[in-house]
A and B are shown apart, each in its own frame.
Chain A
């Protein structure tokens, strides 16, 4: 659905996107992750035909972005960051206008707009002025706008930004259900969101792609910063000595039974505490029956890859 090859974007003197390559297959939900300023929004704006690229190849739904820009835009639904909307229009009028603009005939519009409004949960505010809606509703109107022409591909830039937890949950479930019928590329900072909704994640930092893989594989790439340890030792003594180790940020007791302590030791960012902990255990002669590194969370992966 999306094929990006060596995409570069240069502004006056600054190279915002430095030759990235990635693909999104049909039917996937892919999360585009990165710190602020990494180039996520820039890349998305290029994919939607808003910004011209400096060099590289982009093919969307089989069409070349440079030569066939109009066709690409017909097959893509885009929700920009901060969901800009025409605040002086009513929801239904706005969606009808956007549907018409995107090439739908009146016959189609008459069926499509009510369907899209119901799907996105804005049918109750259909006659209201967009300027009078809460942020949550506006975001959903933006989503309805992206959907109105039934595009194959949806590109959503931070779709849950600024929403309260209830609204976030609703939007996330909506996106997940949309993922069954459309290909979705969404960008976000919120890592649990990616874990909940996405099949794959592409991590971008400073204009370069650091990783692009399923969440499973990503977590194997980076080692968890948490070390699980089961030893037989006095509680206070063990905790004190472990916390005293230079690379250890935190040590907590998960379980205590028959004198055995199951501890979680969190390392400081980037640190590997296995050797120091092993040395300590040997020095104190504590019996050891478990020594394991936990599975990396997406946050671990993100922090590790975007630290530099």
Chain B
């Protein structure tokens, strides 16, 4: 990675830490996650189940809501602001490549996303402490769940970065990425409308819900990893093309 990339990354991540919007999101996500975790623990209180609290936590509505809502808001200003303020010209006339810029913005946002979800590990620790470790932590499923959270974050962030590169307006960027992410997410529910096993299998291939179900069970499916990594690469490549195309038209 070139030096320019690291310099940009430092600034991008730093600007998240300095932005009020990021802290507002952090605040609300913490509250929602807290409520969500309480509900999960509550579900376990009602009866013995054969899933652990984390496995429930990562599959209920609140979790998906957080992931789908936050990423568009985090990423909306990434390029849109640069276009609006005119600083894109300042950036692109420095000795940096398009990829330096795209990757720095991507990893800056992803870094903050990771920061958003990191505190949930504390919930698990607290839970273990409160229950005196009655059930040992199922490291396989838990680590896989977090891995999927990261993969989801990568794909959705890359969609957000792409949407931001398309427009000067933060609102349009947010709505565009939200629409794309929601469509992708709800496609996974199509599997409920059909019984043909091959169709179901096809939909399950890109169904986020199914991916989480698989990983939460402790099953590592490398096809899932490939789907998210290649999807991320696609949207980042599209972003780089958009940047180049915008300069042709300027």
Contacts and interface: CB of A to CB of B under 8 A. Distances in A.
B241 interface: no
A97 B97 CA distance: 16
Given A45-B250, A52-B247, A101-B4, A85 B89 contact: no
A73 B4 CA distance: 13
A74 B15 contact: no
A52 B92 contact: no
A101 B89 contact: no
B247 A102 contact: no
A12 B94 contact: no
Contact of B89 (A45, A73, A98, A103): A45
A84 B87 contact: yes
Contacts of A100: 7
A75 to B, nearest CB: 9
A80 B92 CA distance: 11
B93 A52 contact: no
Contact of B247 (A50, A71, A84): A50
B87 A88 contact: no
Contacts of B11: 97
A48 interface: yes
Contact of A51 (B86, B94, B250): B250
Contacts of B47: none
A121 interface: no
Interface string B63-102: 0000000000000000000000111011011111100000
Interface in A45-70: 45, 48-52, 70
B3 interface: yes
A52 B86 CA distance: 18
B interface majority secondary structure: helix
A49 B93 contact: yes
A302 interface: no
A74 B92 contact: no
Nearest to B11: A97
Report, as a range, how many residues of chain B touch the other chain. 20 to 34
Contacts of B249: 11-12
A82 B87 CA distance: 10
A78 interface: yes
Taking chain A's interface residues, is the majority helix, strand, or loop, or is none over half, making it mixed?
loop
B248 A52 contact: yes
B85 to A, nearest CB: 6
Interface residues of A, number: 28
B148 interface: no
Contacts of B3: 103
B85 A84 contact: yes
Contacts of B93: 48-50, 73, 76, 78, 80
B54 interface: no
Interface string A109-147: 000000000000000000000000000000000000100
Interface in B1-18: 3-4, 7-8, 11, 15, 18
Contacts of A145: 90
B90 A70 contact: no
Contacts of A71: 95
A285 interface: no
Given A12-B249, A50-B247, A52-B248, A84 B94 contact: no
B84 to A, nearest CB: 10
Nearest to A76: B93
Contacts of A76: 93
A87 interface: yes
Contacts of A52: 247-248
Interface in A80-100: 80, 82, 84-88, 97-98, 100
Max chain B Cβ within 10 angstroms of own Cβ: one of A73, A80, A84: A84
Contacts of B7: 97, 100-101
Interface in A32-56: 45, 48-52
Given A51-B250, A101-B8, 6 more contacts: A71-B95, A84-B89, A101-B94, A101-B95, A101-B96, A103-B3
Interface of B: 3-4, 7-8, 11, 15, 18, 85-87, 89-90, 92-97, 247-250
18 contacts: A50-B247, A50-B250, A51-B247, A52-B247, A52-B248, A73-B93, A78-B93, A80-B86, A80-B89, A82-B86, A85-B85, A85-B87, A86-B87, A87-B85, A97-B7, A101-B94, A103-B3, A103-B4
